[in-house]
Chain A
Amino acid sequence: MNVLPGSIQDWFSARGWSPHPHQIDMLERAGNPALLLIAPTGGGKTLAGFLPSLTELADGAHDGLHTLYISPLKALAADIRRNLGTPINEMGLPIRVEDRTGDTSTTRKKRQRADPPHILLTTPESLALLLSYEDAPRMFAGLQRVIVDEIHALAESKRGDQLMLALTRLQGLVPDLRRVGLSATVEDPAAIARFLAKHPDPCEVLHADPGPDPDISMLETETMPPWSGGGGKYAIAAVLDQVRKHRTTLIFHNTRAQAEIFFHNLWLANEDDLPIGIHHGSLAREQRERVEAAMVAGELRGIVCTGSLDLGIDWGDVDLVIQVGAPKNVKRLVQRIGRANHRYNAPSKALLIPANRFEVVECVAALQAAREHDLDGEPRGPGPRDVLCQHILIAACAGQFDADALYAQAKTAGAFATLTRGAFDDCLDFVATGGYALRAYDRWKRLKQRADGMWELRDPRAAARIRMNIGTIQDTDTLKVRLRGRGKPLGEVEEGFAASLTEGDTFLIGGQVVRYEGLNQMTVEVTRRADKPPKIATFMGTKFATSTQLSQRILEMFRQKDWPDLPQHTADWLRLQRDRSKLPEADRILVETFPHDGREQMVVYGFAGRNAMQTLGLLLTARMEEMGLAPMGFVSTDYAVLIWGLDRVPDPAPLFDPDALRAGFEAWLAGNAVMKRTFRASATIAGLLERNTPSTRKSGRQATFSSDILYDTLSKYDPGHLMLQITREEALRGLVDFGRIDEMLTRTGGRIDHVELDRVTPLAAPLFLEPGRVPVHGLANERLLDEEVTRLLNTSGLADIEPAKSRWRVPY
């Protein structure tokens, strides 16, 4: 306790508080080069991170930047500024705290570079941008500490990889920089510690008291959950009842579209006019800020939300968390539940609402896992090289650099510790010359090597363009939605969805039903004249895959003879699956075929994990295409892959011929939609593609062309190119997994049970709601075009061509 300066000690005493033990622990270890704190939400984590900084800054002797705080959310940086400002003022400390994000004004940003505050709160992207300026060494000269908040979230993404590479450059500028990580509960703290520390420095891990176990259960409802359906509509009344009984309820959904539908239904049933808001990442900033402000002011009783409220913003007095839809991942569930009840010593209260009976099984499995503290997670593998390419570009923007030094520095990021010189040089060559077999850019290289061996931008003016493309967040092409006339922004929808709309169509956004009026200057114009039931807006989805651990538990449940742990209705539902079709067995592959939704469907239950099932989907559709079966697309889960197409598959067995599948793998790997998506993301990060700025999009689409064209051209003329290698690395990292297909084929040894049905089976029904549908563009497209020609031929005698009747348009 004696380490605390008087002003801070007095502040605690005056309130009758004393610091938490872990806050003192952090203070005592403030000199460690790296330190990781694992603490639940509400555990005084942020103050624990900042106390050493406040202590060191208390005497007012430090000049310039002392502490850099990085959070994954802009809003979190602003929130911390408010929350830190209060105690600093009350303690009377001479400390200046400012935030810097994409929302900060240009003049303020400029001033911050010339005269930085003592504590700067920012995001990984803003830090990368700061490090791209020539004056970075001056700005960061006196830096002592860097605090990475919510490091568990960053460690799962390329944003974290970029941040850690940025820290290697910071450490190059200020070698004594100390690193602190703040994390929610995770399954493998040591992995986060390795991620944080300068390799090979050690990193001590401190654990705060995790507090009591959460009070978590499945919500009992009078209405039974449906067979399929993702909205949880059946539980609306029960949810309203819970909202009534609590002060503030967060109602989490797995996708933005589901949040929209649920909010709409909640609103229709909200007879007491309870103040309930909606918050997700596709809503306009103004809309989100209004909800956030209302929440902080305690004016809302309920907030329907998605992952946008996952991270630790202190929204006030939440005493119940409801999770609608099965939690796909136990760790995320536990972290979400931590949002309820910020008082440290009271259990968080949470209710799970399965959207359908399959999800009942998933929820029961998740409850078991949460009670047993069995958190899930997958190791991430070596650092992605597309991020490294961007790192090199950023270094070049800041000035000349030495390749040896940059390489040595990059290797001190834990994820890049095993990076070889050859792999680094390939990235450098790619950034400098494009790295093509055809050496076409002698004159127009991006980087050139000077006589003294240092590298620099050929044209310094390129720096501005490179800066505009900094970041690793993948943005889908979205269009803004505005109310016609009033110009009020409502949010955004995917461009593909906007393209499927015709005048008069209605859809949900921000909880309102709006009518599509037209497209104006790349903005979707809508009115409130909603006279039809809404279509569903497809937002770019955060896609959650069920974790492997969780799916193992679910599998075990399937294999039981009976289901005493499950509610009666769900046990009945599984029995029905057994009667009508089969329950999948471990050493056999079950294939169901049936017509549905105007298409022929085939479900393959393989239980090989999501990545492997996705690979199987790609391979099977490639085989079907060869065999003329006109597949249109597929979607995969951990258990099964659903394939739809124009033709029924009369005998699936030949599709599974292991030799043919193996032979097809390489060829397939080159040309499918998953690879093209991966290419687009990686090529944007690596600086081969520039992000679409609003101005380039406005100037007309014929000027821009699809990244698929680049992918195809590169595959055809330069198949060994680095960008294709990276695409493959990234796809193999999380998207495709042939090893487990091989294992599945061996395990099942050609024992394939084919069940032909006239309609959807209980177990197949939930597959129709899975996000992440992958289109197959082949024979089916040709036949559909023929179909359209025929249809138009038949109707062309009419004065006007009627649009095709479609009750529900799913993408692909």
Chain B
Amino acid sequence: MAGALLIALAILPRIGHERSMNTQECTIPIQGEDLRPLPSGALFWPARGILCVSDLHLGKSDRIARRGGTLLPPYETRDTLTRLEADIARTQAETVICLGDSFDDCAAADSLDDDEVIWITRLQAGRRWIWIEGNHDPGPLSLAGTHLVELHEGPLRFRHIAQADASGEISGHYHPKAEISVRGRLVRRRCFLFDADRVILPAFGTYTGGLRWTAPELQSLMGRGSQAALLGDPVRVLPVPGCSSG
């Protein structure tokens, strides 16, 4: 336990007023690998050139409209792809893993604009692209790329929903969000959750909400000493309340 804590201290970002553009300081150690949570909510594995994003929920506005709901601004797909493209460019990723719920449902994948399909195809060019199944988008999609239920890569397993007792697991699904009260101000922010065994990614999609980091579903998954990496530049690491060691 003390070991995990020391690691956490070592990776805490610099404190101070000056903003740092060097976002590579924060590292999540898991199964001997170093993973980097990016300010946008993507996770980068430098040793293997893998960029992982979760819960893109592309086509959400289409799905809601199709089901007789309201007509939301139909811009979430391009906004999400814009941010994803920026992270791909920044990291020069060789592999992109979309960790499930990439589409709000399977029909949403078919409803994309031609422009948006071409955009995805362009992003896929020259790199390995893996769609992991999510509960929103089970089954193969009509888009190019490899479709998998889960992916084993070195010591790590990539799947959509975390499993109890897993280790070396990278997952999404829960859209974790931190809530921190400091001097009377409640700050809410999307975050990664991690402990010695797993990382849970925040939702990357524009039209997504968050689940409070102290929600029972999350607390029962995360072990003692689990920590959160808050999105933003710099990425900040904090212990998750209620999960402290002791």
Contact = CB atoms under 8 A, between A and B. Distances in A.
A786 B183 CA distance: 12
A561 interface: no
B164 interface: no
Nearest to B111: A443
Contacts of A700: 211
Interface in A396-445: 433-434, 436, 438, 440-441, 443-445
B71 A688 contact: yes
Contact of A789 (B12, B75, B210, B245): B12
B140 interface: no
A702 B181 contact: no
Nearest to A786: B15
A793 interface: yes
B62 interface: yes
A713 interface: yes
B16 interface: yes
A499 B75 contact: no
A780 B61 CA distance: 33
Interface in A431-469: 433-434, 436, 438, 440-441, 443-446, 459, 461-462, 465
Contacts of B189: 785
A124 interface: no
B70 A788 contact: no
A376 to B, nearest CB: 34
Interface in A85-126: none
B211 A785 contact: no
A706 B15 contact: no
Nearest to B101: A702
B13 A789 contact: yes
B73 interface: yes
Contacts of A462: 68
Interface stretch (A57-65, A310-318, A662-670, A804-812): A804-812
Given A632-B185, A709-B206, A810-B184, A789 B236 contact: yes
A706 B70 contact: no
A47 to B, nearest CB: 45
A717 B239 contact: no
A783 interface: yes
A714 B73 contact: yes
A701 B210 contact: yes
Contact of A713 (B73, B179, B203): B73
B208 A705 contact: yes
B70 A688 contact: yes
B235 to A, nearest CB: 11
A718 B73 contact: yes
Interface string A783-806: 111111110110010011101101
B9 interface: yes
A598 interface: yes
B175 interface: yes
Given A499-B179, A701-B209, A702-B208, A782 B5 contact: no
A789 B185 contact: no
Contacts of A500: 181, 186
B66 interface: yes
A441 B74 contact: yes
Interface in A710-737: 710, 713-714, 716-718, 721
Nearest to B203: A702
A275 B15 CA distance: 58
A749 to B, nearest CB: 35
Interface size class of B (residues with CB under 8 A): 35 or more
Interface string B220-246: 000000000010100011110100111
Given A689-B70, A801-B241, A703 B65 contact: no
B77 to A, nearest CB: 10
A345 interface: no
A496 interface: yes
Contacts of B9: 793, 796
Given A441-B74, A789-B237, A706 B182 contact: no
A440 B77 CA distance: 12
A705 B104 CA distance: 14
Nearest to A435: B71
A688 B238 contact: no
B44 interface: no
B187 A710 contact: no
Contacts of B183: 598-599, 784, 787, 804, 806
Contact of B61 (A440, A599, A804): A440
A718 B71 CA distance: 14
A804 B183 CA distance: 8
Given A462-B68, A789-B13, A799-B245, A784 B76 contact: no
Given A433-B71, A687-B70, A704 B209 contact: yes
Contact of A438 (B70, B75, B244): B75
A446 B113 CA distance: 20
Contact of B238 (A721, A782, A789): A789
A804 B182 contact: yes
Contacts of B13: 789
Interface string B139-169: 0000000000000000000000000000000
Contacts of B203: 702
B71 A781 contact: no
A690 interface: yes
Nearest to A597: B184
Contacts of A721: 73
A775 interface: yes
B180 interface: yes
Contacts of B241: 801, 803
B129 interface: no
Nearest to A718: B73
A380 B78 CA distance: 40
Interface string A677-700: 000000000011110000000001
Nearest to A703: B209
A690 B71 contact: no
Nearest to B212: A701
Interface in B57-97: 61-62, 65-66, 68-76, 78-79
Contact of B211 (A701, A796, A803, A811): A701
Nearest to B2: A797
B122 interface: no
A792 B239 contact: yes
Nearest to B68: A462
A795 to B, nearest CB: 10
Contact of B15 (A440, A441, A444, A790): A790
Contacts of B69: 465, 690
A705 B13 CA distance: 29
Contacts of A632: 185
B207 interface: yes
A616 to B, nearest CB: 22
Interface string B1-38: 00001001100110111010000000000000000000
B174 interface: yes
A801 B239 CA distance: 9
A788 B72 contact: no
B236 A786 contact: yes
Listed from nearest, the 6 A-B pairs whose CB atoms lie closest are A434-B71, A440-B74, A799-B246, A444-B65, A705-B209, A702-B175
Given A702-B209, A703-B209, 11 more contacts: A434-B65, A436-B74, A499-B186, A702-B174, A717-B79, A782-B19, A783-B17, A788-B180, A789-B15, A789-B238, A801-B244
Interface of B: 5, 8-9, 12-13, 15-17, 19, 61-62, 65-66, 68-76, 78-79, 113, 174-175, 179-187, 189, 203, 206-212, 230, 232, 236-239, 241, 244-246
14 contacts: A433-B71, A688-B70, A701-B210, A703-B209, A709-B206, A713-B76, A713-B79, A782-B232, A785-B189, A792-B239, A796-B5, A799-B244, A801-B239, A811-B186
Interface of A: 433-434, 436, 438, 440-441, 443-446, 459, 461-462, 465, 496, 499-500, 597-599, 632, 687-690, 700-706, 709-710, 713-714, 716-718, 721, 775, 777, 780-790, 792-793, 796, 799-801, 803-804, 806, 809-812
